[in-house]
Amino acid sequence: MSAPAPIPFIDLRPGEDEVAVRAAIGRVLARGWFVLGPEVEAFEHEFAAASGAALAIGVGSGTDAIALALRALDIGSGDEVIVPAMTAAFTALAVIAAGATPIIVDVEPDTLTMDPHACAAAVTTRTRAIVPVHLYGQPADMDAIRNVAVRHSLAIVEDCCQAHLATEGGIAVGTRSEAAAFSFYPTKNLGAFGDGGAVITGNEALASRIRQLRNGGQPERGRHVEAGVNSRLDDLQAAVLRARLPLVPEWTTRRRALAGRYRELLPASLRIIRERDPGHVYHLFPVLAPERGALQAHLSAAGIETMVHYPAALTNQPAFAAFVSHECPVAVSAAGQLLSLPLSPRLSDEDIVRVADTVAAFAKGHRPA
């Protein structure tokens, strides 16, 4: 009997969207307008509507989206911005890119999103903003974080880079803060064929400032009124995103269904991250495995690809050594155990059963004597 087909962690090639994507690319090639053209403008309107926001501004990456939102809020040198210890390093790098200082705080043990109590304890007279991360597609505890922000008159820029169309209490993430940042890196729930990002906001003045900053500080062509950057979503990527955006709700429904099967089938030897809100969009499905290395090798031998998101808490990343000021034991412990299992809309129910059975076989063979 032949070995079962491998289960990839993700397949980035076009699938059911291929016809629409090819048509979108052809439309751009035929028009010959590749930067800040009609596709970008149309996508900004469509993404804002899909995200429940008044306005969206396309930029070069999710990192730039955070940095430009902070700069547009006049946050920079001498200011502190609170970020969680469990996230991609780019969250804190964006704070540095804006000229501010990232203050890293711990996360909740059951969700791994920012701990509101740790956030509150980190506020100083220099704190200007909080950047909560909706990690793995799971909304952070925004009610509690908003309470901290209101109490101390702080801005909130939500990192929604893994949380496209997620909701919190039935309300779209990012729509109750000053701004929110999204990434369209190819692996995201809404991914382009390269880097891309967007900021959503309900504030027209803020949106206008971000548009100016993304385009070299130009309010109009040839007049640079401030030191902006070059961070423009290009029309090819915008066209691809427009083709895929209508499919995201269906893909999200499928992600949630597959995640539900994992929750039913995975053995108790793994600790599964709690779903705080049904608005979770399951960009990833990580579990906490005390014997992560051995389990990952076991799954690999069975043809099942996994990944680690993230192998180190920000407090243990050399790039942030000068900024660490708070102990983050929950994030540090989790980073040594996290293992992301395959989860994409293309997987079948049978694939999920096979992954869960393989994990269960490993657990059975590793029970204490």
pLDDT at 140: 98
**Strand, helix or coil at 317?**
coil
Q: What pLDDT is stored for residue 3 in this prediction?
A: 77
Cα separation of 195 and 232, whole Å? 10
Pairing of strands 179-183, 197-201: antiparallel
254 lies in the same domain as 275: yes
Quick check: 140 and 286 in contact, CB under 8 A?
no
CA–CA distance, 293 with 310 (Å, rounded to integer): 14
CB distance 104 to 83 below 8 Å: yes
Show which of 245, 267, 282 is a domain's final residue.
245
Domain-embedded: residue 7: no
Same domain, 26 and 62: yes
Question: Does residue 312 belong to any structural domain of this protein?
Answer: yes
Low-confidence spans in the chain with pLDDT less than 70: 1, 366-369
Average model confidence (pLDDT) across the chain = 96
Residue 3: inside a domain: no
Residue type at position 214:
R
Which residue, 192, 212, 245, sits at the end of a domain?
245
The verdict on 36 and 114 lying in the same domain is yes
What's residue 364's pLDDT?
87
**What pLDDT is recorded for position 365?**
78
In a domain, 4, yes or no: no
pLDDT computed for residue 213 by the predictor = 97
Q: What is the reported pLDDT for 367?
A: 53
Q: Structural domain tally of the chain? A: 2
Name residues whose C-beta falls within 8 Å of residue 92's C-beta, 6 or more positions apart in sequence: 83, 102, 104, 314, 319, 320, 323
Residue 197 has a pLDDT of 98
Task: Please report the pLDDT score of residue 325 as a whole number.
Answer: 74
Residue where one domain finishes, among candidates 217, 245, 273: 245
Q: Domain span at residue 46?
A: 18-245
What CATH number did the domain enclosing 287 receive?
Answer: 3.90.1150.10
CATH code, 218: 3.40.640.10
Q: Looking at residue 4, what is its pLDDT?
A: 87
Same domain, 322 and 269: yes
Give the pLDDT of residue 368.
Answer: 44
Q: What is the pLDDT of residue 369?
A: 38
Query: Are residues 45 and 147 both part of a single domain?
Result: yes
**Rounded distance, CA 271 to CA 268, Å?**
7
DSSP calls for 141-173: -HHHHHHHHHHHT-EEEEE-TT-TT-EETTEET
